[in-house]
Amino acid sequence: MAAGVILLAFIGLALFLFGRMVYLGWKQRNVSISISDELPWVPEEAAAHVIGQVTPTMQAWRYRLASQGPTTVQFSYTYRPAWLVIPCVLFFPLGLLSLLYKKTADIIFNFVPVEGGTLVSIAGQGSPYVRGDIGATIERLSQSHRGEPAES
């Protein structure tokens, strides 16, 4: 009797954790990020301004600075997909080896000189929330230097 209750509790906990991981995996799914805007500075200055504004956002989303050049910056985020729980549970204990699998999502910022400033191009993979935060930051920078009121 007690063994049946413990088994039932374990199955309930496993189902809850599986549902939670699938929900979080769906919520945090990666989408394509493609943002472009012009800024009034030369590429090196634009890179300094943008990266200074975007780095706290990227760190909040657990991205790390992977590489940085004078006109290119790359942020990377390494994670384990939510589906990894399936082989862990189904093939325990060998399924634990599946936890060695990781995926990486990269976001690359390019700063290209154009007449009158710099074209900032941002491309990569990330959650819709990351895309929204980066887009809002770039838009705020662009508006503040065009003389338009920045939205809060």
Helices (H) then strands (E): counts for the chain: 4, 5
Range of weakest confidence among 8-12, 27-31, 80-84: 27-31
**Does the pLDDT at position 79 exceed 90?**
no
B/e letters for 62-82, b = 16+ CB within 10 Å, e = fewer, are ebeeeeeeebebbbbbeeeeb
Question: What is the number of residues in the chain?
Answer: 152
Q: What is the pLDDT of residues 96-147, one digit of tens each?
A: 888 888 989 999 999 999 998 899 999 999 888 899 999 999 988 888 766 5
CATH class of segment(s) 30-82+97-144: alpha beta
Residue type, 52: G
Mean pLDDT across the chain: 84
Delimit the domains of the chain by residue range: 30-82+97-144
Is the backbone of residue 16 left (phi > 0), alpha (psi -120 to 50) or beta?
alpha
